Structure 1
Amino acid sequence: MKADLYIRVSTDEQADKGFSQRDQEERLRKYCHNNQISIRKVIFEDHSAKTFDRPEWRNMLLDLKKRKDQIDVILFTKWDRFSRNAGDTYQMINVLRRLGIEPQAIEQPLDMAVPENKIMLAVYLAAPEVENDRRALNVLYGMRRAKKEGRWMGPAPVGYANKITEDMRKYIAPVEPYAGIMKWVFNMMVTGQYQVEQLYREARLKGIRCCKTNF
C-alpha cells in the first residue's frame, strides 16, 4: 500500500501544542512503519481548513488526477486536519474515491463504507469548531467582566499609560500633562461647538504628540 501524508496547520495554530508539523509527521511516519505502508510524498500545508481552496491541496489533487493509481490512501492525523466543513468533506471524499484513493485519519479511523460512520465524521469535524466558538465566548465574557471591574483591556489611550499592580492586575494611569490636555479636549467636545479637526490642532499646540487616527 502506498500513501501520501497530508500535514496541515493554519497560521494561528502554529504555537498550539499538538498541532506542529513536526509532531504530525512523526506520528504519521510511525503509523506507516507499523502498518507496512510505503510513503510516496509528504505534503505540508499552512492554510485554514474552512475550504479545500488551499495551495498545496490543489497541487496534490491535480497531480493525482493527472497520474492515477499512484497511491491508495491519503493519511492525516485527525479529520480536522483534512477539513472543518462537513459538506465539503463528503464531496472531497467522493472525488478521491473516484480516483481510487481513501482518505483516513490515523487517530480517528472510520470505515466510510459503513453509513453510520458519517455521523461520527460529522462529530469529528464539528468538535474543533465548537471548541473554538466556546473559547471565543469565554474570552468575550472575560473581557466584559474585566471592564465591569474597571480594568482597561487594550493599549492605553492617548494621555494614559498601561500599568500593572503588585497582584498583576492591569490598569491605566494618567500621564501629565497629556492626560490633562485630553480631559480638556473631551470637555470642549461635549459642548458641541468644536469639530474634531479643530481640537486636534489645539491639542497639538498644547503638546499632544499622536497621529490623527489615535486622537
Structure 2
Amino acid sequence: MLTVDLYIRVSTDEQADRGYSQRDQEERLRKYCEHNQMTIRHVIYEDHSAKTFERPEWKKLLLELRRRKGQIDFVLFTKWDRFSRNAGDAYHMINLLKKIGVEPQAIEQPLDMSVPENKLMLAFYLAAPEVENDRRALNVFNGMRRARKEGRWMGPAPIGYSNKSKENGDKYIALNEAEAVHLRWAFNELARGNSIPSRSGK
C-alpha cells in the first residue's frame, strides 16, 4: 500500500468561498486516498504564499522527507497551484523530490510523468498560476498609476490630513485642523530660519 503526505495550502489573500479552504482540500484529499487505498502519514497545513518554497511548513516537510528517505511515495495536493505558483521553482522542487524517491501529484490535475507528452500539461499547470500572479500585480500597479494621474492620494493620509470617503464611496483626503495647526507653525518657524526642537528637547 502506498504511503502519502497531504499538503494543504491557502494564502492569506485567498477566500474559502472560492474552494480553497483547508477543510475543503483535506476532505477531497482524504476521499482520494480512501478510494485509492493509500495510507496517510501526515497532513501538512500551510498558510503562506506559493510564490517561493520559502514556506515554514514546506521546509519542515522537506527536511522530514530527506531524513526518512524511502518511507513516503507521494506528496498529494488538490491542484498544482497549491504546490507552486512559480514554474521555475516548481521544476527544481520536483527534481529534488524525485531524487529522494517522492512524487508530487495533484489529485484534480493528475499527470503520469512517465508519458513525455504530459510534461506539456505540467508546464501549463505550473505557468498559469504564475501568469495570474503577474497579471494581478500589473493591474494593481496600473490602477495606482492611474489614481495618481487623477490626483488621488494613495495610502494613508500625510500628517495634517485625514482619509475620508464620500457618500458614493470615493476616497479623498481632507484637512485635519488639529494636526494642521502644528504643521503650519513648524513651516512658519522654518521659513523664519528658526530650528524646530525635537521631542526629546535636544
Question: Which interval holds the TM-score relative to the shorter structure?
Answer: 0.7 to 0.9
Q: TM-score of the superposition, structure 1-length normalised?
A: 0.74
Structure 1: gaps of 5 or more residues: 205-210
5 Å matches for 1:24-173?
24-173=25-174
Letter matched to residue 47 of structure 2: D
Return closer, same or farther for 1:133/1:35 CA change in 2, 3 Å cut-off. same
Find the residue that maps to 1:104 and give its secondary structure.
strand
Kindly tell me: are residues 171 and 58 of structure 1, through their superposed partners in 2, closer, same or farther at Cα, counting changes over 3 Å? closer
Q: Is the 8 A contact 2:165 2:171 kept in 1?
A: yes
SS at match of 1:75: strand
Contact 1:5 1:41 (C-alpha < 8 Å) held by counterparts? yes
Q: CA deviation at 1:29?
A: 1.2
User: Is the partner of 2:177 in helix, strand or coil?
Assistant: coil
When residues 87 and 152 of structure 1 are mapped into structure 2, their CA distance, relative to the original with a 3 A threshold, is closer
- TM score, norm. by length of structure 2: 0.77
Please state how far the C-alpha of 1:166 moved relative to its aligned partner: 1.5
CA contact (8 A) 2:86 2:130 kept: no
Query: 4+ residue runs of structure 1 moved beyond 6 angstroms?
Result: none
Is 2:32 aligned against 1:21? Answer: no
Give the drift of 1:178. 4.2
| CA separation of 1:146 and 1:24: change in aligned 2, threshold 3 A | same
Matched to 1:72, the amino acid is D
Which structure has the bigger radius of gyration? 1
Q: Contact 1:28 / 1:106 at 8 angstroms: preserved in 2?
A: yes
Distance in structure 2 (CA, Å) of the matches to 1:185 and 1:148: 29
Partner amino acid for 1:140? F
CA positional deviation for 1:5: 0.6
- Given that 1:13 and 1:19 are in contact with CA atoms closer than 8 Å, whether structure 2 keeps it comes out as no
How far off its partner does 1:145 sit? 2.6
CA gap of 1:145–1:37, structure 2 versus 1, over 3 A, is same
Measured in 1, the distance between the counterparts of 2:141 and 2:8 equals: 31
Taking only the aligned residue pairs, the percentage that are identical comes to 66
Consecutive unaligned residues of structure 2, counting only runs of 5 or more, are: none
